[in-house]
A = this chain, B = another copy of it.
């Protein structure tokens, strides 16, 4: 609404450089320490004033979300490869990849947590709509192969990933065990 005239018609050169620096620094910091990273720290590490961080990312949640966007894209890309492999094993491969990504990048858990604590069903970026569609396809494909319970929904998978994310982000327990146990509930009876 209050951003440049056109949907991003030629942002100023140093401005977009700043934005990139902030995002890169944020990605690294969030990956390491998750949501406990402070914004002044990000500003310092990026070599800009705090106001500049807020100009590009109006709220902390926006920055966390933006920093995780790449991971979501990568996950979606990987998800597509799960559609072609051994029949009936797509969702299992997908969930393992998500677990490994969550383990390697605390920023992803932070983004999921932020989204969960946000409004019940806030208008999450259309980026996630694409991922949602692919997951739906994987479920359908695995179901057709007789590997998954017939009533499984995308919402079920999201709920489980959220639960997995919360567990991984506390560092407690061993997530591969949790995933293995959880997955039993997704298989056909």
Contacts and interface: CB of A to CB of B under 8 A. Distances in A.
Interface of A: 113, 116-117, 120, 155-156, 158-160, 162-164, 166-167, 170-174, 177-178, 180-187, 189
A180 B185 contact: yes
Task: Give the oligomeric copy count.
Answer: 2
Given A113-B170, A120-B172, A159-B173, 4 more contacts: A156-B177, A166-B166, A180-B185, A181-B185
For the complex of A and B, 8 pairs with smallest distance between CB atoms: A166-B166, A184-B185, A181-B185, A163-B163, A159-B173, A116-B170, A163-B167, A116-B172
Contacts of A183: 185
What is the predominant secondary structure among interface residues of chain A facing chain B?
helix
A185 to B, nearest CB: 3
A171 B121 CA distance: 11
Contacts of A167: 159, 162-163, 166
Contacts of A186: 181
Contacts of A158: 173
Given A163-B163, A166-B163, A167-B163, A155 B173 contact: yes
A177 B163 contact: no
Contacts of A162: 166-167, 170, 172-173
